[in-house]
Chain A
Amino acid sequence: MPIETYHTLISRNKRNTWLLIVVFAMVFVGLGVLIGNVWGGGNAEFSILTAASAGLIAFLLTLASYYGGSSVLLGISHAREISKSDDPQLFNVVEEICLAGGLPVPKIYVIEDSAMNAFATGRDPKHASVAITSGLRGRLNREELEGVIAHELSHVRHYDILFATLIAVMVGVLVMLCDIFLRSMWWGGGRRRQSSDRQSEGGGGLQVILLILALVLAILAPILAKIIQMAISRQREFLADAGSVELTRNPTGLAHALAKLGGDEEVLEAANRATAPLYIVHPIRKFEERASSIFDTHPPLNERINRLMSLTQ
Chain B
Amino acid sequence: MTATWIIVGIIVLLLLALVGIYNGLVSKRIRCQEAWAQVDVQLKRRYDLIPNLVETVRGYATHEKETLERVINARNKAIAASGVKEQAEAENFLSGALRQLFALSEAYPNLKANENFSQLQEELTSTENRIAFARQHYNDSGAIYNTARESFPNNLVANAFNFQRQDYFELEEPAAREAPKVKFQ
Besides A92-B123, A100-B133, A100-B136, 4 new A-B residue pairs in contact (Cβ under 8 A), listed by A number: A99-B133, A101-B137, A102-B137, A142-B125
8 A-B pairs within 8 Å (CB atoms) are namely A88-B122, A88-B123, A92-B129, A95-B126, A95-B130, A96-B129, A96-B130, A102-B137
Are A89 and B130 in contact, CB atoms less than 8 angstroms apart? no
B30-48: CB near A (< 8 Å → 1, else 0) gives 0100110010001000000
Interface: A180 (CB within 8 A): no
Are B35 and A102 in contact, CB atoms less than 8 angstroms apart? yes
Are A249 and B136 in contact, CB atoms less than 8 angstroms apart? yes
A1 to B129, CA, bound (A): 26
**Top 9 A-B pairs ranked by shortest CB distance?**
A100-B133, A92-B126, A99-B133, A96-B129, A99-B134, A96-B130, A102-B137, A96-B133, A99-B130
Q: Which of B42, B137, B147 has the most CB of A within 10 A?
A: B137
A contacts, CB < 8 Å to B: 1, 3, 88-89, 92-93, 95-97, 99-102, 142, 247, 249
Interface: B144 (CB within 8 A): yes
SS class, residues of chain B in contact with chain A: helix
B105 to chain A, nearest CB (A): 18
Measured CB to CB, the nearest residue on chain A to B178 is A250
- Chain B residue numbers with a CB within 8 Å of A3 are 144
Measured CB to CB, the nearest residue on chain A to B35 is A102
B35 to chain A, nearest CB (A): 7
Among B130-164, those with CB < 8 Å from A are 130, 133-134, 136-137, 141, 144, 147
Are B38 and A99 in contact, CB atoms less than 8 angstroms apart? yes
Measured CB to CB, the nearest residue on chain A to B41 is A99
Q: Which of A92, A93, A95, A96 has the most CB of B within 10 A?
A: A96
- Chain B residue numbers with a CB within 8 Å of A142 are 125
A102 to B133, CA, bound (A): 9
- Chain A residue numbers with a CB within 8 Å of B123 are 88, 92
Are A100 and B137 in contact, CB atoms less than 8 angstroms apart? yes
Measured CB to CB, the nearest residue on chain B to A89 is B122
A48 to chain B, nearest CB (A): 49
Are B133 and A97 in contact, CB atoms less than 8 angstroms apart? yes
B71 to chain A, nearest CB (A): 22
- Chain A residue numbers with a CB within 8 Å of B134 are 99-100
A13 to B34, CA, bound (A): 27
A89 to B121, CA, bound (A): 11
